[in-house]
Amino acid sequence: MTHNAKRQVFADPGNDAAIMTAWERFLAGGGQPSNALRGIVEGSWQRCRAHHVDPEKRSGPSPVCNSKLESLKGQHRELFEAAAPIMACARDFLAETGAIMALADTNPTILTMEGDSRTLGFAEDIHLLPGVVWSEGICGTNAIGTALAVGHAVQIHSAEHYCAGIKRWTCSANVIRHPHDGEILGVIDVSGLSESYNRQSMALVVTAASRIESRLTIREMERRYQLLEVALPRWSGGTDGVVLFDHRGYPIKANENGQAALVALGADLDLAAPRRILALALDSERQAYPSWLRPEWLVPAVRHGERLGTLLIIPMPGLGRARARGAEQSRFSTSVEENGPPSTMSASFARIITGHGGLLEAVRKASHLARSRVPVLLLGETGTGKEEFAQGIHQASPFREGPYVALNCGGLSRDLLASELFGYIDGAFTGARRNGLVGKIEAANGGTLFLDEIGEMPLDLQPHLLRVLEQGEIYRLGESAPRKVNFRLVAATHRDLRQDVADGRFRMDFYYRVAVTSIRIPALRDRKGDVDLLAQHFVERFCALHKLKPRRLDEALIARLEDYAWPGNVRELRNVIESMLLMSDRRVLDVDDLPPELTYEMATHDTHADTTFNISESEANLIRRAIIATRGNLTRAARELDIAKSTLYQKVKQYGLEREIYCARGFD
């Protein structure tokens, strides 16, 4: 930071006399402002003059009555509760420092204050009290009102205040923003008499605001989990379009008919770029509904008497019947012929071979979502076929004529991933390729970008990709001019991203941007009937690929394959079949043709199962029931099981119950 930039951020107590002279000249209406006067202060003084603020004012207005103050605290309950631990710390740590901390809403009315008791007494003289409005338009230039006016942290010292009565004070303040969209929710301030001036008070309010925003993030995640649980029964079945709105009026999830229903209504609401409908915000004043929205379509989402959000249920009987017929045709076309090879999906999903109802439903959902432009998040273990789904969605989407570009976010360093995603210009860094590099995002322009293992993306890269998704612009590394891009994002992960958000490993705003809709792909062990279908398919495929004579698998081998858990899923089965075909010349393959390492794994699995069935199987089932009963809340589940939470985590990993947690939390 340059010296001039620092001077704009921090007040300089040594300039008090020059600033006082500048203030007197400003009130007299003459001359250029002093060089000692910071631009942010001059701008505030100009606003104060426009608001006709009395420069001789000695204090703020009288506080509101106690009942009104309590009502304000109730209106801003989430902000008040998120700030409570920070204010409690201020009570202890600011004692004997000559400083006090104040929390204000966006009015800005002070909601609560803590800190040095002696300074709190002095603050009463100027009505720096809970229940008092400290806006620029009422109290002139001051840290609370000015921070709110400019939208960032400010420090106002002594003579920089506009009103004479508060010129013996020094204060620093920062705005508190909502973690989802950056809306300003309030202001945190540290004030004291002029002799208590300290540059570190700026760091204190910036840190305090960040801590409050972090607590708001956690609370917002909890509310959304609860909201999704409440809405879950409405999600499946029926043909209506369903869109779920949170308590602030943002659409956060839709069923497969939701976007189609909005398009049919001509609604100006794109779930790929969600925006608020203020009429659906629970804490806003009465707003008019959009012309396309009928009030009778709205259903409150309530949990334990508390309204968490709103369900918009749009009846679409005509579209519903068409979709139902399409679903039946899809199920018929993908069923297994009685004595023949498996049928495949429509051309877009031809690479997916299955007879399993759960996977057929996932394909049906993917085919519906492919028609829209919203991002899709594919959920499933490694090797389940997420890229086949991504390619199918691309082929069935409006972007099918454009390129399909894939990138695995796992296993790459932060810098390498950044250059792969965004590209760079010539000379951007040492070792940069001559003439630069086109990044994967830019290469996917007009088509589909598939980001596998998106849960491995570093935290500091996520806001950059979020900006690309929201603004439709990309900057190559080392470049100052943006490039326009338009693409469909399909992401995939094996991780529980909601838990990663709660743990601070994944950004909440980025999560809700990439997970507008999601599809869960079941593991191979959960669809054992597909093992035979896939094995036969791979035999035919690799015989043709390697120019081998026709082969087949005997029944004992197929049974053995079906009994195996396949931790590597379809990818592991494919590799095993290819290895067997290449290593054996026999026309009929049996158990003896299994790779030695797989034979060992199967034997180890069988021995383990024989010796531990009674204990481990019962324990796993007990843990599974506890997870379901508590809706995936591991803290409560550990309490119900009377074991430590750390022990429960170990057991979940040991028995492979991560998917049960996903399902119990309603993460489809």
In this predicted structure, the answer to whether residue 610 has a pLDDT above a threshold of 80 is: no
- In terms of pLDDT, which residue wins out, 257 or 580? 580
DSSP letters of 6-40? HHHHS--GGGHHHHHHHHHHHHHT-SPPPTTS-HH
With a cut of 50, say whether residue 132 has pLDDT above it. yes
Residue 327's pLDDT is 41
> What does the pLDDT look like over 42-74, one tens digit per residue?
999 999 999 999 999 999 999 999 999 999 998
Selection from 456, 474, 455, 477 nearest residue 466 by Cα? 474
pLDDT at 662: 63
pLDDT tier for residue 431 given thresholds of 50, 70 and 90: low
Mean pLDDT of 569-578: 89
Residue 488 in 3-state DSSP? strand
Of the candidates 411, 397, 374, 364, the residue with the CA atom closest to the CA atom of residue 521: 364
Exposure of 152 in the CB half-sphere (CA atoms within 13 A): 3
The band of 238, judged by pLDDT with boundaries at 50, 70 and 90, is low
Q: Is pLDDT above 60 for 479?
A: yes
| Burial degree of 380 (CB within 10 A; 0-12, 13-18, 19+) | buried
Q: What percent of the chain has pLDDT over 70?
A: 88
> How much is the pTM?
0.53
What SS3 class is residue 238?
Answer: coil
User: In this structure, are residues 490 and 373 in contact, taking their beta carbons and an 8 Å threshold?
Assistant: no
Model pLDDT, residue 605: 54
Backbone angles phi, psi at 283, to 5 degrees: -105, 10
Confidence band, pLDDT 50/70/90 cuts, at residue 36: confident
User: Residue 121's pLDDT band (boundaries 50, 70, 90)?
Assistant: very high
pLDDT band for position 611 (cuts 50, 70, 90):
very low
Per-residue confidence at 491, pLDDT binned at 50, 70, 90? Answer: very high
DSSP three-state, residue 567:
coil
Instruction: Enumerate residues 6+ apart whose C-beta is below 8 A from 462.
Output: 506, 507, 510
Task: State the average pLDDT over residues 214-223.
Answer: 87
Tokens for 199, please give them: 């540059």
Assess whether pLDDT exceeds 50 at residue 5: no
Q: Band of the pLDDT at 38, cuts 50, 70, 90?
A: very high
pLDDT in tens, 293-304: 988 899 988 888
Q: Which of 170-179, 500-509, 636-645 has the lowest mean pLDDT?
A: 636-645
d(CA 188, CA 172): 9
Question: SS3 for 152?
Answer: coil
Least confident span in 2-16, 477-491, 595-609: 595-609
Q: How confident is the model at residue 508 (pLDDT cuts 50, 70, 90)?
A: confident
The pLDDT of residue 258 is: 83
Residue 326, pLDDT score: 41
Strands 306-314 and 448-452: unpaired
pLDDT tens digits, residue range 145-203? 999 999 999 999 999 999 999 999 999 999 999 988 889 999 999 999 999 898 889 99
For range 370-388, the mean pLDDT: 89
Tally of helices (H runs) and strands (E runs) in the chain: 26, 20
3 state DSSP class of 153: coil
Residue indicated by tokens 């074991």: 643
Mean pLDDT rounded to a whole number for the chain: 84
Work out the number of other CB atoms within 10 angstroms of the CB of residue 52: 7
Distance CA 55, CA 60 (A): 12
Residues 6 or more apart in contact with residue 25 via CB below 8 angstroms: 31, 33, 34
Q: What angle do CA 222, 227, 228 make, to 5 degrees?
A: 100
Coil/strand/helix, residue 155 = strand
Of the chain, the percentage scoring pLDDT greater than 90 comes to: 39
